[in-house]
Amino acid sequence: MKLCTLLTILLLPCLVAAQSADNELVNVKELIPDIVLDLKYSTTDNFLHQKLYTTNECLLAQGLVKRLKVVQDSLRVRGLGMKIFDGYRPRAVQYLMFEIFPDPTYVADPASGSNHNRGGAVDLTLVNLATGEELPMPTPFDYFGDAASHGWTIGLSAEQIANRELLLGMMENVGGLTRYAAEWWHYQHAPSLANPLMDFQMK
């Protein structure tokens, strides 16, 4: 009994450290070098037509990145990979987005915060690793309408539906992540959603 207690005392700091480490924001490229980045809010190619980030560095909670690495490893054998459109998002940017487009279906209310502000959500698509080309999906990123939702089929080609379902299957069944019903590109890592809302600017 004393031995078990001693082992628990000795191991507890390691367990707490491991849990804390999963909550820390890390550079996605450091863990997944071949992942493609196309951070839309680092450019003017977004629904606001404004450059909102000063860097093209993508940060996410380490626990989420570990799950994405499993997905990328599984996709790579098919010649496919992931392209990230957005990861961690400063809360100040969330306020600006909501001021311009105050629809909580597509832009989370900054009063309660977005899971992007916690580093627990990622927006992404699939690409052909050899060519870098995106696989056809139902809509462009940040399309605010019914056609962006999971389950929508009207006017979509069989290829678009199959690619959306492939992304869904990889993210949920392989990565253990959860979808956001209104946006085919948005996935979340449940443990990371307990992270605090953050507002530091990426340099």
Please, what are the domains in the chain?
Answer: 25-194 (3.30.1380.10)
144 and 182 Cβ atoms separated by less than 8 Å: no
Average model confidence (pLDDT) for the chain? 90
Position 200 scores a pLDDT of 84
Q: Name the residue among 109, 88, 85 with its Cα closest to residue 97.
A: 109
The pTM of this model reads 0.89
pLDDT above 60 for 12: no
pLDDT tens-digit series, residues 28-76: 999 999 999 999 999 999 999 999 998 889 999 999 999 999 999 999 9
Strand partners, 127: 81, 134
**Residue 36, class by beta-carbon neighbours within 10 Å (0-12 exposed, 13-18 middle, 19+ buried)?**
middle
Reduced to 3 states, what is the DSSP secondary structure of residue 24? coil
Contact yes or no for 201/90 (Cβ under 8 A): yes
User: Predicted confidence band at 165 (pLDDT cuts at 50, 70, 90)?
Assistant: very high
Predicted local distance difference test score (pLDDT) of residue 151 = 93
Question: Average pLDDT of 128-142?
Answer: 97
Share of the chain above pLDDT 90, in %: 85
CA angle 167, 125, 84 (to 5 degrees): 130
- Secondary structure element (H or E) that encloses residue 85, with its range: strand 80-86
Res 203: pLDDT: 61
Q: Residue 179 in 3-state DSSP?
A: strand
